Amino acid sequence: MRRQRHDFEPAKLIAGLVLLTAAALYAAAATGDLPLPYWWLLPLCVALGLALAGLVAAVTYAAGRTRRRLADAAATHDPIPPPDTLPAMPMDQLRGEYNRLGTDEARSGPGDQPRDGQG
């Protein structure tokens, strides 16, 4: 298995591409090939590009943090044992009582009696 030497950081890639694009636009404006004023190219490109790189860095950090938390949670939790190996639970005893009392006579209680001779 090949080991990575470093992590992939897309924000740095975007920041580098933005700065290269800004340099190319500046060079094109300086030679006269681009009929746009050069004084707004650098601040606009760099500001928007670095904002985009910051957003990508935040999303990358959040995704990596979630992935690490899930991996840590999976590594520390014991697997769930099969149901036949679990000890008897108190609910099992109650379920048996409910099944035993499953008739209509057993379900009726004092609150089910008609009041004042009605019914």
CA 111, CA 82: separation in Å to the nearest integer? 42
The pLDDT tens digits of the residues spanning 19-41 come to 898 888 888 888 888 777 767 77
Q: In sequence order, which residues have a C-beta less than 8 Å from that of residue 49 and are 6 or more positions away?
A: 14, 15, 17, 18, 19, 21, 22
Q: Does residue 18 carry a pLDDT above 60?
A: yes
Global pTM value: 0.52
Residue 115 amino acid letter: R
Across residues 5-22, what is the average pLDDT? Answer: 87
pLDDT digits (tens, 9 = 90+) for 92-116: 777 777 777 765 555 555 555 555 6
Q: So what's the pLDDT on residue 54?
A: 92
Contact between 19 and 46 under an 8 Å Cβ cutoff? The reply is yes
Q: Is there a contact between 21 and 42 (Cβ–Cβ < 8 Å)? A: no
How far is the C-alpha of 20 from the C-alpha of 44, rounded, in Å?
14
Q: In the chain, which residue ranges form alpha helices assigned H by DSSP?
A: 10-31, 41-76, 90-100, 104-107
φ/ψ of residue 100, rounded to 5: -65, -35
